[in-house]
């Protein structure tokens, strides 16, 4: 059964909708004929406390059908087993790094931040702190690189070899995240997503993902999002294994853009979503 509902704001100030982002199509049932098959409706709480619900049809693609049945059970089992093993084997590494982080400025070891997860619901993501303690908002900092003056010596080492992200395996065990999926992002970015881009919120966020092994921080956000949408629409356990195996290469040799993967994702987006809304068409 294909249940259809319109997308829109439950309430908006002065009878107008809040900002949707420059690329967002109209969020009404009549003017947005293509609705995306995701598992549940997405709900986003905006800064002014108004809620946007995009209730989309529940007819799944084959990938989503697998991820919501036995395939999802296997994916979750893999998450738990691999996370427990990885936390155990890497504990000396991230404990020593934690000590280095603390001794360099006697500040907090962990960095906790709200990120948006499945169905755009917030959760607290854990990382080892890699920057000096500061009062900058996330939007002010933008994309932080190893060359940023705020990144500490311990932080540069932790970021280069992804050690700062090891505590996110705790998020995986808690069910907030999965091993492989789109990286969790902040509320302010998700609030600007089009319905097509919101597909990346229809699965659990991951510790690693298709965008990370094909360029990661070397790509702009639109490029990463279109890679994430490709992953969501092509999900399989085999693809997850492929991403996990290639993640080791990223840790050892760094992130390098993969033009072929990006071109494939862009070509797919143009074909699957001809009405636009997938990034930089």
Q: Is the pLDDT of residue 85 over 80?
A: yes
Which residues are CB-neighbours of 257 under 8 A, at least 6 positions away? 214, 215, 218, 219
pLDDT at 44 over 50: no
CA distance 172 to 177: 4
25 vs 239, higher pLDDT: 239
Confidence of residue 251 (pLDDT cuts 50, 70, 90): confident
The pTM of the full predicted model, rounded to 2 decimals, is 0.73
Q: In this model, does residue 196 exceed pLDDT 80?
A: yes
| CA 192 to chain CA mean position, Å | 14
User: Which pLDDT score is estimated for 140?
Assistant: 58
Supply the mean pLDDT for the chain: 76
Structural tokens at position 264: 């494939």
CA distance 232 to 223: 15
Q: What is the mean pLDDT of residues 80-97?
A: 93
Distance CA 203, CA 123 (A): 14
Q: What is the pLDDT of residue 48?
A: 39
Which token pair is 4? 């259809």
Instruction: Give burial (CB, 10 Å; 0-12/13-18/19+) of 83.
Output: buried
Percent of the chain clearing pLDDT 90 (strictly above) = 46
According to DSSP, the residues that pair with 199 across neighbouring strands are none
Phi first, then psi, for residue 171 (nearest 5°) are -60, -35
- Please tell me the predicted confidence (pLDDT) of residue 138: 60
Say what the pLDDT of residue 105 is: 85
Distance separating the N- and C-terminal Cα atoms of the chain = 32
Q: Which of the two residues, 197 and 62, has the higher pLDDT score?
A: 197
Mean pLDDT of 246-269: 92
């Amino acid at each position: 059964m294909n249940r259809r509902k319109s997308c829109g704001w439950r309430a908006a100030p002065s009878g107008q909708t809040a900002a949707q982002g420059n690329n967002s199509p109209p969020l009404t049932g009549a003017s947005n004929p293509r609705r995306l098959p995701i598992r549940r409706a997405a709900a986003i709480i905006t800064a002014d406390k108004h809620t946007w619900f995009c209730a989309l049809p529940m007819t799944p693609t084959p990938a989503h059908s697998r991820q919501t049945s036995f395939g999802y059970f296997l994916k979750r089992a893999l998450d738990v087993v691999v996370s427990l093993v990885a936390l155990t084997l890497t504990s000396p590494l991230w404990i020593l790094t934690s000590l280095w982080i603390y001794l360099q400025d006697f500040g907090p070891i962990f960095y906790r931040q709200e990120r948006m997860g499945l169905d755009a619901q917030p959760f607290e993501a854990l990382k080892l702190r890699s920057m000096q303690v500061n009062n900058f908002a996330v939007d002010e900092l933008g994309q932080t690189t190893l060359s940023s003056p705020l990144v500490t010596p311990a932080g540069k080492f932790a970021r280069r070899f992804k050690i700062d992200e090891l505590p996110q395996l705790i998020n995986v065990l808690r069910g907030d995240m999965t091993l492989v999926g789109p990286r969790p992002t902040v509320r302010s970015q998700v609030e600007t997503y089009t319905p097509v881009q919101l597909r990346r919120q229809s699965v659990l966020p991951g510790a690693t993902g298709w965008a990370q092994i094909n360029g990661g921080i070397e790509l702009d956000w639109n490029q990463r999002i279109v890679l994430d949408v490709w992953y969501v629409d092509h999900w399989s356990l085999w693809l997850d294994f492929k991403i996990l195996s290639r993640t080791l290469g990223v840790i050892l040799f760094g992130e390098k853009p993969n033009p072929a993967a990006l071109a494939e994702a862009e070509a797919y987006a143009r074909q699957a979503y001809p009405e636009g809304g997938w990034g930089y068409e």
